[in-house]
Chains A and B, each alone.
Chain A
């Protein structure tokens, strides 16, 4: 999965911290950037890098919403369900998204274009209900009609493997593996 240089870089990063859990988060992001999500193979590699067991890594992954253990669609859309957006009707937006994608929250839409997730406050309360695409693009002032349109547009967009987006957390790895 990683080149020797990448592994050295990750190891250095881990050694940086007195607590291996701190360094593990970066390594897990690196796996996620490569594979699209954190797979079993990735967990094995991070165990070697940090000494953390599978359970200890799953603790981190399940705690941090930006780490994901399961594959996602070509895009991730995080629809905020915190207080401001809730007041402005985010429940209806999520319901509309479920209907449109044909799958429950967290699953990949039938055409593979998107995974819709709920999110905590995105700091876009003034534009509520809001969402964030691929940790990068703000989607604002949603309503049931505009979410449907937005999702339609996503299904038409082709898959761009090399666009990691500014949402990528890792500086030193060489882009996503082609098999994701």
Chain B
């Protein structure tokens, strides 16, 4: 640690910091364009120039590009006092010779670093008389809008896209005055992190195309720090809304979770709240009524059916929502569950119980090696971005997967030998063969044999794709590596943003209890919130549909379950309400509404209306509840506290061990998903329009096709699915035969299906189908 001075103001610095970095940390309003905290210095813009005072008699002062200058003790810089100001004015004047004068109609205006720097450097009048360099704008798909003339060639975009996020379909073209940043072809970006171009670009070259369609000047937005509700990472975001609608989502950098960026699911997926078919008013039997009338009606139903009531929430909903609904259920002597499927609940709880020293995103970025099991990009995109930093740093990343995943594509490109493709039913066995304690080749690859003792490895698993046996195998693997004196951190990407909070609550409200009660016809009135039991991927619930006489749905998407509801209530989204979410690390994160959506309700509103508990009392009670449940005193909701996952979920990794099917004559169903394909984000129109997979198609490896004797002329019928209790399930797609598409990135002996296809056929993720149950049909015509 040392000290230097800027315009006589003292600036402290850490070793390794450059002058600009230390100045910004110290809160000095130092100008810059190309420097970025995560992307580092490039020396491309010269905007950070300051004057360095001479240290010795006879020396002259000199101009220094401060982002490339290591901070040194005692140095004195002139920012506003010396000639640096004049130089920076020239720099901006030069950029403005090419930049269009379109601030009045530019989406970036008000949030624009070029505007800020122009003001800061006092450039006012254009003296250049020549023609402006101009480009054609490139159409870049439904999410990002390109205005190429606005570029000032700071290179931040390509440094982010290629160097940081390891994308390869966007880059910098030509040189000198003709330099331009684009893709080789028109169309949307391949990277799940492309939206960050909007933020890293200091000008309006890349702007949010979704925002553009419902634009508002940035200073007129209602904004607040919120938590992303689209996966278990729980990134900090800043939604901006106006006039009852969401306009845009920005990251809200938080050093504990997402230090700079968010993924495209978090940014564009949140626009599910603007889907045309979002339920925004209450309905009774298809007739629109006001909320109060619907609430009275529901109160009436619940009172009459007391004792035969079930309330079903989902891991996509937050802790406050669960508690409020659980209170209502208890009041009417009913059952509650935060999980729809017992299988998901068991896997989530087991994953949490088996996590070890769960790595944060920063832990992942700075590790010495990693093992990834499952489609990580498609489950928790920002974890994937953290792993990409390891790959970039040349660390060894091994990957075991069954369905196509973007992260595997990146690993495969450089190290095909570090990709292990296999059906999930074989994962436990394969993971055990990664055991670091053996020396023999034939037992499988001895991973990380060359890592020195004391180095740190990260293991990440995708819980929803793993059976509990393979989670145990990962846990045992930790021990094996630790015996080799390596440090190991094991974490799981979970299904649902509040999966951890839901699993914490489900100890008291198990989903199996609710489902069994429905099956035994003890429950005939069901209230559903955020879940889709009669829709996508909930095969266990489908046969129970006929037992439900009254279905109340409280939701913010037009799900298949909502479409068959008797009573509908409009639910606020995370950006529109207050809540608490617990992420995969056990981090407790509170959020508050960014903007108001008139006409929507929260679960706490429901509790007030139906059982008369006031909001204040509710939050106080909830606070005490969580403190008791977690053993944390002085509970905060700012994301600084984590649950102790090990004690919190102790004993929940044994339940319902799934037996491993080693039957060679079977195939396994795996989920085919993508980074925009989570439960709620699937309803975001712009994002959903670039979905890469087709529905009602079976994707499989060419070897599997050969083995099953399938080709372009044949279709495949999957046969009757059965649920956990071996009851047959009736689905519309059961008798349907599906065409196939070959894909090398599906593991051998796996059939990869989108969630819509899964819904049609009624099979569960990871279901094992004996080959003799499959039938091959010739294509007609």
Contacts and interface: CB of A to CB of B under 8 A. Distances in A.
A51 B171 contact: no
B314 to A, nearest CB: 39
A62 B174 contact: yes
A51 B414 contact: yes
Contact of A58 (B162, B175, B184, B414): B184
A11 to B, nearest CB: 16
Contacts of A54: 169, 184-185
A59 B168 contact: no
B536 interface: no
Interface in B164-194: 168-175, 183-185
29 contacts: A51-B413, A51-B414, A52-B168, A53-B168, A53-B169, A53-B184, A54-B169, A54-B184, A54-B185, A55-B168, A55-B169, A55-B170, A55-B171, A55-B183, A55-B184, A56-B162, A56-B168, A56-B171, A58-B171, A58-B173, A58-B184, A59-B171, A59-B172, A59-B173, A62-B173, A62-B175, A63-B173, A63-B174, A63-B175
B267 to A, nearest CB: 22
A56 B170 CA distance: 8
Which 7 residue pairs are nearest across A and B when measured between Cβ atoms? A53-B168, A62-B173, A55-B184, A62-B174, A59-B171, A55-B171, A54-B184
A47 B635 CA distance: 54
Contacts of B183: 55
B418 to A, nearest CB: 15
Contacts of B414: 51
Interface size class of B (residues with CB under 8 A): 10 to 19
A122 B169 CA distance: 34
A123 to B, nearest CB: 18
B557 to A, nearest CB: 36
Contacts of B173: 58-59, 62-63
A173 B301 CA distance: 83
A53 B185 CA distance: 12
B435 to A, nearest CB: 31
B7 to A, nearest CB: 39
Interface string A44-81: 00000001111110110011000000000000000000
Contacts of B162: 56
A43 to B, nearest CB: 9
B655 to A, nearest CB: 45
A159 B623 CA distance: 86
Contacts of A63: 173-175
Contacts of A53: 168-169, 184
B347 to A, nearest CB: 36
Interface in B233-262: none
Nearest to A120: B176
B636 to A, nearest CB: 46
Interface in B392-432: 413-414
Contacts of A59: 171-173
Nearest to B161: A55
A90 B174 CA distance: 23
Contacts of B172: 59
Interface string B441-478: 00000000000000000000000000000000000000
Contacts of B171: 55-56, 58-59
Which of B171, B172, B414 lies at the interface centre, i.e. has the most chain A CB atoms within 10 A of its CB?
Answer: B171
B151 to A, nearest CB: 15
Nearest to B176: A120
A27 to B, nearest CB: 17
Nearest to B162: A56
